Every structure is written in C-alpha cells, then in structure tokens.
Structure 1
C-alpha cells in the first residue's frame, strides 16, 4: 500500500534495513510490515522477540562488514535468515547465557551461507530463500552434542526410528463437523499455522502476521491464508496427527510455498494460483516424508519442505512455455 511505502522511506536507514529484514521472512520488502512482525513476536514472547532482534541485527551487520551487495542489504535480504535463527535456537535448545553467543554466531553464518548460495544459484535465477537458515540451524542443533555448555531443549525431538502414529493421535471429527467447536478448531489451526512460520504458537501473532502481509500485498495475504487452509485441510483428509494439525505445524510450510509460487516468483495470475495450490499440497507430503527421514538424527524439518518444493517448481516452470519468461 502506498501509505506504508511512504512511511518505509521515511524511517531512518539503519532501522529501515532491520525492519525490512524481518519483513522478508514473508517476502515483504516493507519496513512497516517488518515492524508489525517484530511487534507480533514480542507479543508472542519477549525471549523470542529479543532473539529475533539479535539475529536480524547480527546477520545484517555481518553483511555490511563482509562487503556484500548494498542493494541486497537495503532490501533486507541479509536479515530474514538471521531473524529466523534466533527464535529457532531458543525453541529447540536449553535457554542459557551462552545461547545468546550461539545465536549471534549462527546468524552471522547464515549470512555467509546465503551469499554462497546466491552465488551458486544465480545462473539459474533461483532464490536461496530460507535454506541458509535451515542449513545453519541444523548444523548448530547437531553441534550441541559436542559441547558441554549447551543441551537440547524439551521441544527438540529425540533421535528415533519413525513409527506409525497412534490411533488416538489421528485426527477426529473435530475438524469435519459443522459445529462451533469445529469452526474454532479451524480458526485456531489456521492462525497458528501462519504464526509458526516464526515459531510462534499463538493465534494473535498469526493474525498480526497476516495483517502485516496484507499491508504489503492483498494477494500475498490471500496466498498466505490459502496456504494455512491447505495446511489444515490436507492433513485432515490424510489422517495426520491431530495435535500437529491443531498447532499449525503442517501449515507454515504451505504458507510460504503458496506465497512464493502464487505471488512472489511467478507472474500473478489464475494459472500461478492453481500451480501454487498444487505446490502447497505437495509441500505437506514432502514435510511428512522429511520428518520421517530426519527422525533418526532428531532434527526438525524447519522450512526445508517449502524450500525443496519451491526450488522444484521454479526449476520446472523455467522450462515451461507458460511460465518460462515469468
């Protein structure tokens, strides 16, 4: 929206770059949107908000010091991976004073990994997106086993062999019935699905995120909302774990996939919207498969299902006569 862009340009450059870095988590190069996202994180939890702030500042400052592209830095492209690194490490590892140093180091590394992947993917016109965040966090989560000063948090899944979900965990008629309870279950799962993109298990945070996206683009907000709906409906139809659906853990990857395919990287059209829907559905299958694949080493999938599906669709569409020149 024009008014938000005017405010964006009026914000002092250092703050504008930081806020844009937070906004780029949802592909929004808008400082107003990024500020709303950051406020939402603090609403969801002070620690998560501080961790995201430390992460985005560390990764952005590292990009400046390493002499990377000024245009990319100004657009916030070196900030969003660092934004995600902070809350991720505080979610999956035990909260200790040393963990703040861990966050800074991980955020800096995410900047280096992003620059390397941008160089590798540049000839193919494919974005690195959140892959630096994923690779960096996987490395740091596994590395804690080698250091006495760090330990796993209760949320990080223990290594184990994948097993069928228990019958009691399979989704019930709660999402299928036309009742007030069913409507509340859908509303909760959809809102949390959007919030979980930044590890926020909160309805209000999800609503604030969607509001921030809408300020930048109504189509972007529609794609995010549609991705969250797909991330609830498809797991319900496939009989996924009820708890995971209710927490929005099947929804946050389709949110990003549908935004990327249906709004950001392909020309917005009815065709790209349909393609985004297909990509969103396949992201859920990919997430389930990756979760089982990573179970033996006790790592979460994070946003890697989104990254894989987005890459495959963008590579594929580059060969298509309909989307090849998008």
Structure 2
C-alpha cells in the first residue's frame, strides 16, 4: 500500500494473522523469498530496502494459499518457486516500463497469478480438486439500493480484500496502520473506498457484490497512487484520483468477465491498468504534476531578469 514503514508491515501481518495465521506465514514468507532472491541476483539496495522486491512475491504466495489451500505442502513449494519467478518478472517489468518512467506496481504478481489460476486445474498435484478455478460473474439477488450496514461493510471490505479477506476488522486495522504512518495516504484510501462503493451502487450493482469488497478494492489503491504517491497531493490530483477510482471500479467486472472463462480472476489488474493509464496521461496535464506552477515561476523570474536589462544592451 505504498508505505515503506516496517511497523506498518508488521501491523499488516498481524491483521492477516487475525483471519488465518497460515495466510500471514505465506505472506511474510513470500516477502522474504522475493527479497532474498533479488538480493542473490544483485538487485540494488534502493529497491531492496523499501520493500519494492518483496510485495509482489508476498501477494503471490498469499494468492496461492487462498486459491490452492494453505495446508498442503505442494502449495507451499509451488508458492516458493513462484516467488522466485515473480522476482524475475519484476525485473522485466521495471526494465520495460523504465522508458516511460512508469512503476511496475503489482503487474508481476497479476501476470503470474492469472497464469497459475488458469493452469492449476491441469496439474492434480497442485490442485487435486475437480472443476475449474473460473468464477463467471453473475448478478446477485437483492435490491440494488444502498443500506447503511452494507455500505459500512463494503467500505472496510474494500481494504481487506487487498489481502483476499472479507473481514471488516482486518480492513479497519489496515486503515489504522496506514493513518499512523501517513495521514494523507489514509485519507486517500478512505476516499478511494468510498468512491468504489458509491460508483458501484450508482450503476446498480447488487448490494452483495458491493458489500464483499471485491468490486471496490482496486479503487483504494488507485486513489492512493494518484494522490500523494506518484502525483503530489492537491485538490486537482484528488479529483483526478477519484475519477481513477471510479474507473477502476467499472473496470473490475470487465476484467473479471474477460478472464473468468479461462479460469482467471481480476486480482489487481484494474488497479494496474487504471493507474498506468492515468499516470501516463498526467504528463499532459501540468496542473496535476506541478510542472505548470514551476514553469510559471520560471517565466516570471525570466521576465524580471529581462526587464532589469537596459534597452541599450
């Protein structure tokens, strides 16, 4: 969640452990394996120390635990091997996106997670259960209207679903950890979650699909990324971030529908696609990047200097 604080990471591990201690083991083990692999391969410390080489592997290991079952030894071995692959994919993503000065985000995790969810049913030793991992979207029953209790659950589930958990107390603890580290990041996360809930309900999404948090979780990350992380926090970038959060919410069922027939899930693809697109576009909007004010100040200084030069010269 864009925070380089080890204390925040510790609280995140505690929040995941409250739901299932095995999930916390997978997440921390994945982070350690990804970071260790990157260190062995000689990745620079400016990427190792902030945790940039560990969060994709942590998410992948946790994804394996959720999709394949945390109690099976084959899941642990498969997740460990995948963490090494994620490290390689991270290096590739960094290299490919460097030309556009764009961050890899969770692209490496998403790519490998989709491949695993599609391929897993073909390998009985990895997933010995019948059927596919496909999750075809279907309308949920119930009236498409907002209810206070469901809105509150959705607001917190949007945060907890970033770790595949539908637990309101996990979402509350994660938000508290973000606020303790960076108040701006916490406010952006809240704004993104609220935007995801309001967008889904305004478009008529059934309350059960909104309340479980899967439709709005990507909006949380998009809002944080576009207001305070990759763009400066300002009223203009806040509006831009909320537009991105709404876009990610709409994009989530679209990505799910595209990937579900082959066994895939949306994961954080909506966040990756929306954030990369909005960051690339932001360079055309100087008011978002702060370059407009810098150019204006530079022009004023140049005008002042020119006005002080005698005409005879």
1:63 equivalent among 38, 42, 67: 38
Contact conserved, 2:34 with 2:83, CA < 8 A, in 1?
yes
The question of 1:89 aligning with 2:64 is answered yes
Contact conserved, 1:92 with 1:155, CA < 8 A, in 2?
no
**Greater Rg by CA:** 2
Partners of 1:217 and 1:155 in 2: CA distance: 44
Q: Residue 49 of structure 1 corresponds to which residue in structure 2?
A: 24
SS in 1 for 2:57: helix
Residue by residue over 1:82-133, the C-alpha shift from the partner in whole angstroms, topping out at 9 and shown as x without a partner, is 1111221111124421000111111111111111111111121100011111
Q: Residue 317 of structure 1 corresponds to which residue in structure 2?
A: 282
The question of 1:172 aligning with 2:148 is answered no
- Offset of residue 158 of structure 1: 2.6
- Offset of residue 323 of structure 1: 3.2
Partners of 1:268 and 1:282 in 2: CA distance: 19
**TM-score of the pair, normalised by structure 1:** 0.84
The question of 1:195 aligning with 2:160 is answered yes
Q: 1:287 to 1:152 in 2, by over 3 A?
A: farther
Q: 5+ unaligned residues in a row in structure 2: which ranges?
A: 292-313
Q: Residue 91 of structure 2 corresponds to which residue in structure 1?
A: 115
Q: 1:108 to 1:241 in 2, by over 3 A?
A: farther
- Offset of residue 159 of structure 1: 6.4
Moved over 6 A (4+): 152-156
Q: Residue 132 of structure 1 corresponds to which residue in structure 2?
A: 108
Contact conserved, 2:144 with 2:205, CA < 8 A, in 1?
no
Count of residue pairs the alignment pairs up: 290
Higher mean displacement: 38-47 or 314-323: 314-323
- Offset of residue 157 of structure 1: 4.4
**TM-score of the pair, normalised by structure 2:** 0.87
Q: 1:97 to 1:158 in 2, by over 3 A?
A: same
Q: 1:84 to 1:258 in 2, by over 3 A?
A: same
Q: Residue 290 of structure 1 corresponds to which residue in structure 2?
A: 255
Q: Residue 11 of structure 1 corresponds to which residue in structure 2?
A: none
Partners of 1:193 and 1:154 in 2: CA distance: 30
Residue by residue over 1:16-71, the C-alpha shift from the partner in whole angstroms, topping out at 9 and shown as x without a partner, is xxxxxxxxxx0001111111111111112112111101111110110111111111
SS in 2 for 1:81: helix
Higher mean displacement: 268-277 or 228-237: 228-237
Q: Residue 180 of structure 2 corresponds to which residue in structure 1?
A: 215
SS in 1 for 2:287: coil
Partners of 2:37 and 2:208 in 1: CA distance: 39
Q: Residue 47 of structure 2 corresponds to which residue in structure 1?
A: 72
Contact conserved, 1:72 with 1:78, CA < 8 A, in 2?
yes
SS in 1 for 2:271: helix
Partners of 1:155 and 1:224 in 2: CA distance: 36
Residue by residue over 1:189-231, the C-alpha shift from the partner in whole angstroms, topping out at 9 and shown as x without a partner, is 1111111111121111101110111122111001111111112
SS in 2 for 1:323: helix
The question of 1:279 aligning with 2:244 is answered yes
SS in 2 for 1:322: helix
